Copies of this chain bind each other. A is one copy, B any other.
Amino acid sequence: MAAAIELADRDGIESISMRKLAQELGVEAMSLYTHVRNKADLLDGLADAVIGQIPTSTDGADWKASLRQIVFAARGVVLRHPWAPRAVQAQTAPGPAALHYINAVIGILREGGFSIAQTHHALHILGSRVLGFTQDLFDDSGDLEPEAAASLASALGQSHPYAVEMALAVTHAGTLGPCDDDAEFEFALEFILDGLARLQQS
């Protein structure tokens, strides 16, 4: 398992094959099947192993602080293992670590005074963000060069003015500066936490 994580960190998750992982361990491919039912099982284990790395202990004063703390911890793990979102998404069933984690999250909300229904809604609103990542429409974190920006503007400016305006604003020279994913994640999380607080009071 540890070897698989190391391999995924180095070469990406889609380059994990039974043969390569076995080679990493100085062993033949088929030997892995004594410890794992099949490849899907292995990947499920991988996903659960990453989730297991998230510390679930919280010392937050209230539910908001605790939730923020646990989600940031999750994000830290995800940033260390960029393949984690893929692995989690491919998961067929939640493993023990996932169960432990989700139990901790639900616990924070319930102890914080959320009803079951409110907690359920909160989980759906948070979605994968509670695990430290989000699926965006496209990657806007890459900073494109001025020349590329110019050609983009002239090529698509007519047909897609709003998209181009936004793309240009997010460049290094644009009005917003390059997109800071961490800051955006934090902003979105805070946005949702505030909304949840309002939801709870109503």
Chain A residues packing against B (C-beta within 8 Å): 89, 93-94, 98-100, 102-104, 106-107, 110, 116-117, 119-121, 123-125, 127-131, 134-138, 156, 159-163, 165-166, 169-170, 175-176, 179, 184-185, 187-188, 191-192, 194-195, 199
Assess whether B107 is in contact with A162, with CB atoms less than 8 Å apart: yes
Q: Give A111 Cβ to nearest chain B Cβ, in Å.
A: 9
Q: A116-B176, A130-B137, A135-B89 are in contact. Are A163 and B103 (CB under 8 A)?
A: yes
Q: A106-B163, A162-B110, A166-B116 are in contact. Are A135 and B138 (CB under 8 A)?
A: no
Q: Give A46 Cβ to nearest chain B Cβ, in Å.
A: 16
Jot down 10 A-B pairs with beta carbons below 8 A, ordered by A.
A99-B163, A100-B159, A102-B138, A102-B163, A104-B162, A120-B169, A120-B170, A127-B136, A128-B136, A191-B199
Copies of this polypeptide in the complex? 2
Which residue of B has the minimal Cβ distance to A121? B187
Which residue of B has the minimal Cβ distance to A174? B116
Assess whether A120 is in contact with B176, with CB atoms less than 8 Å apart: yes
**A103 CB contacts on chain B under 8 angstroms:** 159-163
**A199 CB contacts on chain B under 8 angstroms:** 191
